[in-house]
Structure 1
Amino acid sequence: MMKYLRYALLAVAFLLCVTVALANRAPVTLALWPDTVTAFLGFGYAVTLPLFAIVGGAVGLGLVFGLVWEWLREHAQRAEAAKMRRELEQMRRAHPETAARGATQPPRDKVLAILDEADGSS
């Protein structure tokens, strides 16, 4: 059911994007510098594109920059997690009897685990 709802929402978003693109087909000139600066410097760059292409490109660049920014920001957390995984594997290899015993124990009730934690902290 949720899969169909997701597809329906994606279809609505796609139709909305197509509608906005069709409504904003007018060509717009995007210049690197204002005309006065271009005249002063003697060079400039300008491109004429439909408005929806400029807006879509700006949104796309924003998404890419945001994803790269988050990937770089989370580097320390990923490195720490990888270090912890390596240490856990080393401990499991060093003490296989403990790892095997822990795997055979039945899972504890979550409520009892919470109560045990509360008793240990006070």
Structure 2
Amino acid sequence: MKAIRYGFWAIVGLCLIFVGIANREFVTVKAMPTAFADFLSISPTIELPLFVVIMLSVGVGLLIGFLWEWVREHRLRSDGRAKAREADQLRKEVDELKKAKASAEGDEILALLDSPTR
């Protein structure tokens, strides 16, 4: 299974290298449209190789997607934490009831057997 995983990542790496080699020419990246830049009389531009622009765009897209998914699943995580707290509370209550029942019956051996072994 590890060989398949390493093979897959090797193919992905080769594809990224081929994209980088094929797109080495420099391009001008502008931060705002020309009309707006002329209106403000500033024109923030930078020249980068095209493969850098492509890789940065993919990386920023992944980060935005991960952030979006993390925010979307907030409700599920908070529900899970609430259920875990409720389960812990119920476990403690059951343990207390077992101890109370055993002490009411007066049998110490049964009380030891019923107690949790944590």
- TM-score normalised per structure 2: 0.77
How far apart in 2 are the matches of 1:4 and 1:93?
Answer: 47
Q: Secondary structure at the match of 2:42?
A: coil
Please show how residues 25-36 of structure 1 align to structure 2 within 5 Å: 25-36=24-35
Show the counterpart of 2:60.
61
Q: What secondary structure does 1:95 align onto?
A: helix
Structure 2 residue 15 is matched with structure 1 residue 16: yes
Amino acid in structure 2 at the alignment position of 1:18: I
Instruction: Show the counterpart of 1:3.
Output: 2
Structure 2 stretches lacking a partner, 5+ long: 99-112
Superposed displacement of residue 18, structure 1: 0.7
Aligned residues: 98
* 1:32-86 alpha-carbon deviations (Å, 9 max, x no partner): 2333432332111000000000011010000000000100010010000000011
Letter in 1 for 2:87: L
Moved more, 4-13 or 33-42: 33-42
Percent identity between the aligned chains? Answer: 36
State yes or no: 1:84 paired with 2:83: yes
Q: Which one has a bigger Cα radius of gyration?
A: 2
1:79 maps to a residue whose letter is: S
> Which ranges of structure 1 fall in alignment gaps of 5 or more residues?
102-122
The CA distance in 2 between the partners of 1:36 and 1:72, in whole Å, is 36
